[in-house]
Amino acid sequence: MNDKTMNENTGQWLSAALDDELGDLSEFEIHQLLKACEEPDTLDTFERYALASSVLSGDVVNPGSSLLVGVRTGIEAEPDMAMTGSTGGERPQWLRPLGRVAVAASVAVAVVFGANMLDTSTPDEVRPTSPVLAQQNGGGIDTTTSADNLNVVRRAVPENGVTYVSDGAAAGNYTAAANETSMTLSARQLQQVRQQRMRRYLMYHLEHASLNNNSGMLPFARVSNLETETATGH
């Protein structure tokens, strides 16, 4: 795969990742993006996109592709990683089949966000050189992780991040520190992606409701905090 032949969707998804627009992608698309990131050329392309983006913004970039691959490996190795809510209660049965996809997607978001955030810094800073979540080991995941790499991940996690806990079986497969860090990141990012998407749906609906239900702009009164971050103001 190269620039010319790379799947158009993958190019758009990478572009979305660099533009902090991952919230525009569905979980399916994020999953596909993560899968595409296993291709070396895709990562090369990502690096070039990131480099171009960062040069334009005056930063220096090193996307740290091994980080992406490593997390992907870790997620794939986990056989049945379902999450529970922050209250610690059991997920409804009907949600469970979605859990693994949700986790993978959210980690993809987290990692791409993380790579984007972390690697637009000076070349002298510490770089991740090995996966954060490494190879499968005896049915679980060996979270043998260098301190540098773990720090890199932790830098991407806001201190007030929402903490989700994994199912008991899955929890045992992680060392405490790495598990807590990665799962906190995943849940928070997943929640953000969903919330952003629903917010966009709501605003889109209100725009068209205001045109089609004969009540002018009144429908916009339904949202106390009108979404204006995509403003085109001048």
- Decide if residue 222 touches another protein (CB under 8 A): yes
Whole-angstrom distance, CA of residue 39 vs CA of residue 29: 16
Comparing CB distances to another protein, the nearer of 149 and 186 is 186
End-to-end CA distance of the chain, in Å?
Answer: 41
Which of 168/216 has CB closer to another protein?
216
CB nearer another protein, residue 117 or residue 211: 211
Q: Is 34 helix (H, G, I), strand (E, B) or coil?
A: helix
CB of 41 to another protein, least distance (A): 22
CA proximity to 156, closest of 198, 122, 121, 129 = 121
Runs of H (alpha helix) within the chain: 8-18, 27-36, 40-56, 65-77, 96-118, 147-155, 168-171, 176-212
Q: According to CB under 8 A, which one of 95, 157, 162, 171 is a site residue for another protein?
A: 95
Residues in region 143-202 near another protein by CB under 8 A: 194, 198, 200-202
Does position 98 interact with another protein (CB under 8 A)? The reply is yes
Helical pair 96-118 and 176-212, crossing angle rounded to 10 deg: 100
Establish if 106 lies at the interface with another protein (CB under 8 A): no
DSSP 8-state class, residue 166: B
Dist CA 118 CA 132 (whole Å): 14
7 binds another protein (CB under 8 A): no
CB of 72 to another protein, least distance (A): 17
Considering only residues 21 to 50 of the shown chain, the ones binding another protein according to CB under 8 A are 21, 24, 26-29, 31
Q: How many residues does the chain have?
A: 234
Min CB(214)–another protein separation in Å:
4
Q: How many positions of this chain bind another protein (CB under 8 A)?
A: 49
Q: How far is the CB of 31 from another protein (least distance, A)?
A: 7
Distance (Å, whole) CA 39 – CA 133: 18
Taking CB under 8 A as the rule, does residue 89 contact another protein? Answer: no
DSSP states of 50-76: HHHHHHHTT------HHHHHHHHHHHH
225 binds another protein (CB under 8 A): yes
Indicate which single residue of 58, 88, 123, 216 sits in contact with another protein (rule: CB under 8 A).
Answer: 216
**What residues make contact with another protein under the rule CB under 8 A?**
12, 16, 21, 24, 26-29, 31, 94-95, 97-98, 101-102, 194, 198, 200-202, 204-218, 220-233
